[in-house]
Amino acid sequence: MADVNDTNSTRAKFEREQELLEDATIDEADRRAIREFVTHRRQMEDKSLNTLISDIGNLRRAAERAETPLLEMDIGDARAFVGRLAAPKASGGYGLDPDGSGMFGYKRVLRVFFQWLDAEPHYGEYGFGERISLPDRNTKEETISKDELLTEDEIERLKRACMNNRDPVLIDFLADVGARISLATSLRVGDIDGLETPRPTFSPNTDALSLKGVRDVSYPILYSRAELREWVNRNHPDHTGPNGRAHDEAPLFPVVEHYDPDNREMMAAHTSTVRKSMKRAADRADIDVERVHPHHFRHVFMTRISDSELNDRDIEHMSMLVDDRMRMRDRYDHTGDAERNDSIFQSHGFVDPDEGDESEGAPEIVACSNCRAEVKSTAYHCPRCGFPLREEIQNAIDAARAEMRETTVDADERAEREAAADAATVVENDERVAEEFAIEDGHLDE
């Protein structure tokens, strides 16, 4: 369990980095300068704790690993240190990819640190900081190919493999709105609005840490609305709100065991718990566990909206990428040249919209054929009534029910017939039980 305002333990991580800085075997002048730099970044530049954690950690390690104290460096010393970071471990280096995220972290903070030193009147001249160039962040290690993206069917299989009612809703939500896991787990029930209307939205928890500059505005909820509605109204462990629904102050995605409504602020699911749960579900669903992590669903989301007819301003709003951060959209764009060409041909009327289109496309919201509730077109079951929405499941259940009825008729002993009749009644009236029986009896794969 975690504080709903800090589900990633960001404050504890920041305090730990401060302790490591104090204990580090580095030049005392470097330690003092790093402290002042971090204080300036926090108080004057309003940097997030996550940024400060990265700053302290990379500067501490630089001070430990460089042969020259940071405050005594010139451009030659900085160049030598970067070279040592990239040198193979076998030759005494640290083996960092020159274009990788690790090198980016070092060079970014050294560049900013030396610029800050140069601007401070009580330090010397460090104008060479401007000459530390940063590698391109769109590196292979930080991107996912289109072939690696989870398909809509794999997402549904992953949801089916979850062992509680919370995780399928969270998976649907992440893929639907593209939120980072720290934002999603910091949401409270009251941050969701209009679930019973055609225009449901969510707003960030402004008290939460580490939201990476997300604007405090409302954002649309599209395909996860049905799952969210049932979760908040029926399956959420908090039932202290109106009509037995979850209380507005309850975490939207809380712990599923030992939930305490009297201490609801501390009942949020920790981000590490969510990651582990997803890995276990992936293993049960026979999906490569390396493909399944919370940030993967941001790629799924961006692919959905990039393939849609939304304009750039709509995409900017939905993705929560603002102004210059929109350049990061390229990291999530999995559209190939052929698909872009097809889109251009279609928009100009040279080919029919569906001609040559092999993409899966985004899901749709449809009505359950049993209870008429809203449901995502790719779902296996209706989140409200549990009715199976896929033909292969319905056929398997029908076969299982027919077999159960035959067992009732063919049983020799009265007690056996009565037991079979009772089981048949349950199978006839409970779609979930019927599906479990169909799986157990070999009519349906898990």
DSSP symbols for 108-177 = HHHHHHHHHHHHSTTS---GGGGG-PPPPS--GGG---GGGSPPHHHHHHHHHT-SSSHHHHHHHHHHHH
234 and 179: one domain? yes
Q: Which of 315, 337, 357 is the last residue before a domain boundary?
A: 315
Same domain, 138 and 151: no
Whole-number Å distance between alpha carbons of 239 and 228? 15
Choosing from 315, 337, 358, the residue where a domain stops is 315
Residues 301 and 218 in one domain: yes
| 404 and 437 Cβ atoms separated by less than 8 Å | yes
| 126 and 16 both lie in a single domain | yes
H or E element in which residue 193 lies: strand 192-193
Total tally of structural domains belonging to the chain:
3
Does one domain contain both 297 and 160? yes
Residue 171 and residue 249 in one domain: yes
3-state secondary structure of 367: strand
CA distance 164 to 278: 11
CA 350 → CA 341, 353, 355, distances in Å?
11, 9, 10
pLDDT at 140: 46
226: number of Cβ within 10 Å: 22
Q: By the 8 A CB rule, do 300 and 334 touch?
A: no
pLDDT reported for residue 435: 67
Which two tokens mark 52? 């400060």
For residue 266, tell me if it sits in a domain: yes
Place of tokens 């995502």: 376
pLDDT tens by residue, the chain, 446 residues? 899 999 999 999 999 999 999 999 999 999 999 999 999 999 999 998 999 999 999 999 999 999 999 999 999 999 999 999 999 999 999 999 998 889 999 999 999 999 999 999 999 999 999 999 987 765 444 566 777 889 999 999 999 999 999 999 999 999 999 999 999 999 999 999 999 888 999 999 999 987 767 888 999 999 999 999 999 999 999 998 888 889 999 999 999 999 999 999 999 999 999 999 999 999 999 999 999 999 999 988 888 887 777 777 888 888 886 554 444 555 555 566 566 566 655 655 656 766 555 555 667 778 887 787 788 888 877 887 777 777 777 776 677 667 766 766 666 677 776 776 776 676 666 666 666 666 666 656 65
| Inside any domain, residue 358 | no
Q: Which pLDDT belongs to residue 233? A: 92
Kindly state whether residue 345 falls inside one of the protein's structural domains. Answer: no
Q: Are residues 268 and 212 part of one domain?
A: yes
- Residues 291 and 371 occupy one common structural domain: no
Q: How far apart are CA 10 and CA 393, in angstroms?
A: 44
Same domain for 132 and 214, yes or no, is no
- Chain mean position to CA 277: 13
Contact indicator for 218, 199 with CB cutoff of 8 Å: no
Say how far apart CA 405 and CA 51 lie, in whole Å. Answer: 64
Of the CA atoms within 13 Å of residue 336, those in its CB half-sphere come to 9
Is 201 a domain residue? Answer: yes
The H or E element that residue 51 is part of is: helix 49-65
CATH label of the domain that carries residue 262: 1.10.443.10
Burial class, 184, CB count within 10 angstroms (exposed 0-12 / middle 13-18 / buried 19+) = buried
Q: What is the side-by-side order of every strand in the sheet holding 201-202?
A: 192-193, 201-202, 219-220
Residue 190 lies in a domain: yes
Is 202 within a domain?
yes
Residues 230 and 286 in one domain: yes
Render pLDDT for 181-219 as a digit per residue (tens, 0 to 9).
999 999 999 999 999 888 999 999 999 987 767 888 999
Q: Which domain covers residue 235, as residue numbers?
A: 146-315
Of the three residues 142, 171, 203, the one that is the final residue of a domain is 142
Specify whether 135 is located in the same domain as 150.
no
Whether 198 is in a domain gets the answer: yes
Assess if residue 385 is contained within a domain: yes
pLDDT of 167 reads 97
My answer on whether 96 and 173 are in the same domain is: no
